[in-house]
Amino acid sequence: MDEIASLRDEGDENDRQFVTALARGLDILGCYGPDDRYLTNHEIAARTGLARPTVSRLTHTLMKTGHLHRDEGNGAYRLAAKVLHLGFGALAGINLAERAGEVMSALSGGPNPYLTIALAERSGVRAIYLAARRQRQAVSLSIDVGARLPLFYSAIGRGILAGMTEDERQEVLRMGIAEFPGQRERMEKSLDDIARDYETYGYCTSFGAWKPEINAIAAPVRSLDGTSVYGLNIGGPSFLVSPEELHEDYGYRLLQAVKELGG
């Protein structure tokens, strides 16, 4: 636990954006194991390496926010129901990735062997790959799980944006402008392109918009609880996958796949 505390302190010292109190609170929530029901402040302090007075303040705060429940008899704490909300989005994504496996494999088995099928979720102004399928061809996109793509320019990112509300899109646009102020007009144009494509096709396109050598189409997929939006993508090298082929041979397949996933 001393090593964890050392890393936490180092992050606090070197990163002005790092909020130590938040990190310590998350340490407390994360110290509960699958067999733990109640933990005392003393036990939490031992597991996290935090000082007892600090633990006492943090557990009290987490109780007030509804993330911990305190047993009035012995003063110990257990995780409260509100903690479940922290995992709902992640669980929805995991469940969707599992459900999408068969559908994605079917898409990758289409007439063009050079396509990559992918599922992604949003993180800030980027799309993060959760799953990918492709036929075993030497020439295909080498983008794998964990890859980060620009939300406004990649097809999969545009698919995610298409599934968001207008207020949510404008908030993401503000985030994008804050991070990349020189790309404001390009991002605003991208939103116009997304709206046009989605209204016309029911999915979004990116034919060289992100990288000249990549063509792709993507559509939004919603989680089972309706709280999260993901992108389902079909794409490949532009010299092997044309926009016409994606529209004519894969547009309908993509929309059917989204329907199967409940999007």
Burial of 142 (0-12, 13-18, 19+ CB in 10 A): exposed
Count Cβ atoms below 10 Å from residue 35 Cβ, excluding itself: 5
Mean pLDDT by 10 residues, the chain (263 residues): 46 72 91 87 94 95 92 90 66 64 82 90 90 67 77 97 95 95 96 97 96 95 80 93 95 92 72
Confidence (pLDDT) at 101:
80
pLDDT value, residue 6: 42
CA–CA dist 226, 7 (Å, integer): 37
114: helix, strand or coil = coil
Contact status, residue 207 vs residue 238, Cβ threshold 8 Å: yes
Question: How is residue 149 written in tokens?
Answer: 């793509």
Tokens, residue 239: 């010299």
* Model-wide pTM > 0.85: no
pLDDT (0 to 100) of residue 137: 56
Q: Do residues 230 and 130 lie in contact, with contact meaning Cβ atoms separated by under 8 Å?
A: yes
**4 within 8 A of 49, measured Cβ to Cβ:** yes
Name the residue among 256, 227, 226, 228 with its Cα closest to residue 103: 256
Q: What share of the chain is helix, strand, coil (3-state, %, to 5)?
A: 50, 20, 30
Whole-number pLDDT of residue 12: 52
